[in-house]
Amino acid sequence: MGRVTRPETGRRAVIVVACAMGMLAGPALGAASAQPAPPDVPPGGKKPSLEQVRKEIERLHDKAGSATDAYNAAEAKTKKQQKAIVKIAKKIDDTQGRLDGLKDTAGAMARAQYRQGGMPDEAKLMLGNDPESFLRDVSLVRKGQHATRGFIGSLTSTKTKLDRYAKSATDEWKKLEANRKKKARAKKKIKSQIARAEGMESRLAEAERKRLRELERQAAQAAQAKWLKSDAMKKLKKLGKGAGTASPAGKRAIAWATEQIGKDYEWGAEGPGTFDCSGLTMKAWAAAGKSIPRTSQEQWKSLPRVPVEKMRPGDLIIYKKDASHVGIYVGDGALLHAPRTGRQITVEGAGTMPILGVVRPDK
């Protein structure tokens, strides 16, 4: 007799696999891509100064950076859950096949008993007339009973396992949907903050934009000069060059990252043509043979920390209170990083932004 198909669970497994594989290509986020119009002049009609514009643009990009980390975290979880769903779906399909086979066997056993008159083996044994065959068949009946109990147990456990896999798939699907919504919200926020920042800059005259760039350069220069005079940097300099030498893996990470200089920043990107800040650091250390988390917040949370005054080239410097930015320290007070939207991967002063701490991937 051919294998009996159980369409309900079979369809469920196929649907789960198809949907999960479809989302691996990247789920659409619909309305999340809408970009709001840039803000107007503040109430009262007074035009903000260029310094106020600079600070506001910086604040907006900071918020976009935080949202980018939230997006990347949700994306990493989504990928993990997609793989889990595919794995569970395959288990469902395999277990359903085993259950179908056991049910086919049960049907064959029932038909065989029917052909024999429906009389249990124990009754046939008791009604027999041959004493010698009675003793021989007692053992066979016991073996048959044991096999039947084992078969029923296997049938029950397989059905229980199938139900458990189905529940696991449902739970993972709910988590996946929740993270897709988180991604959509983060994407909307990123686009909103960037649109506002770009809108503010676009309304400036050419001469004002040049002056804005000069103000940004001066602010960065002042922050770097202050940092170089900090106690942490004084201690780092006292340790000498030997203490600040990159490890072999650190050298490979820096070399790889250096090759990316000049490429555009793009939020959510991890190469090869564009990167965001943590996408760059993750790929640089992957090139050095070390797997590290995808987001700057996870890099800060899970990688070994070292004091700023003891950092060495190749270490990752984590920035801002919410750990939403990261770059690679390359020595001599310099940082290699992917700054923000509208900028390219570059090397600049490591003290131009507020430092949260330092982590060492290969400690």
CATH number for the domain that contains residue 168: 1.10.287
Within a domain: residue 310? Answer: yes
**Residues 55 and 180 occupy one common structural domain:** yes
Catalytic position from the list 19, 61, 146, 325? 325
Within a domain: residue 33? Answer: no
**Residues 70 and 181 occupy one common structural domain:** yes
**Residues 14 and 144 occupy one common structural domain:** yes
**What's the pLDDT tens digit per position in 83-100?**
878 888 787 877 777 767
338 close to 265: Cβ distance less than 8 angstroms: yes
Measure the CA–CA gap between 89 and 20, rounded to whole angstroms: 9
168 close to 88: Cβ distance less than 8 angstroms: yes
Q: What are phi and psi of 116, to 5 degrees?
A: -90, 10
305 close to 316: Cβ distance less than 8 angstroms: no
Within a domain: residue 12? Answer: yes
Within a domain: residue 313? Answer: yes
For residue 337, indicate whether it is catalytic: yes
21-25, 252-256, 311-315, 359-363: the lowest-pLDDT one: 21-25
265 close to 339: Cβ distance less than 8 angstroms: yes
**Residues 171 and 94 occupy one common structural domain:** yes
Of 202, 221, 256, the residue at which a domain comes to its end is 202
Catalytic position from the list 19, 61, 146, 337? 337
**Residues 296 and 181 occupy one common structural domain:** no
Within a domain: residue 43? Answer: no
| Total structural domains within the chain | 2
Domain that holds residue 75: 7-26+49-202
Within a domain: residue 227? Answer: no
Within a domain: residue 55? Answer: yes
**Residues 246 and 180 occupy one common structural domain:** no
**What's the pLDDT tens digit per position in 180-193?**
888 888 888 888 89
Return the number of other C-beta atoms located less than 10 Å from residue 324's C-beta.
24
If we measure between CA atoms, which residue out of 208, 192, 220 comes closest to residue 53?
208
Within a domain: residue 338? Answer: yes
For residue 277, indicate whether it is catalytic: yes
pLDDT at 116 over 70: no
* Cis peptide preceding 272, ω within 30 of 0: yes
More confident residue, 123 or 94: 94
**What's the pLDDT tens digit per position in 271-313?**
999 999 999 999 999 999 999 999 999 999 999 999 999 999 9
Integer angstrom CA distances of residue 60 from 69, 118, 172, 223, 334: 14, 81, 34, 19, 25
**Residues 13 and 129 occupy one common structural domain:** yes
DSSP letter at 42?
P
pLDDT at 78 over 90: no
**Residues 148 and 246 occupy one common structural domain:** no
Catalytic position from the list 19, 61, 146, 277? 277
Question: What's this model's pTM, rounded to 2 decimal places?
Answer: 0.65
pLDDT at 14 over 50: no
For residue 19, indicate whether it is catalytic: no
240: CATH: 3.90.1720.10
Of 149, 178, 202, the residue at which a domain comes to its end is 202
**What's the pLDDT tens digit per position in 38-58?**
444 455 567 788 888 888 988
**What's the pLDDT tens digit per position in 230-258?**
988 888 877 665 557 899 999 999 999 99
**Residues 307 and 353 occupy one common structural domain:** yes
**Residues 189 and 57 occupy one common structural domain:** yes
**Residues 87 and 175 occupy one common structural domain:** yes
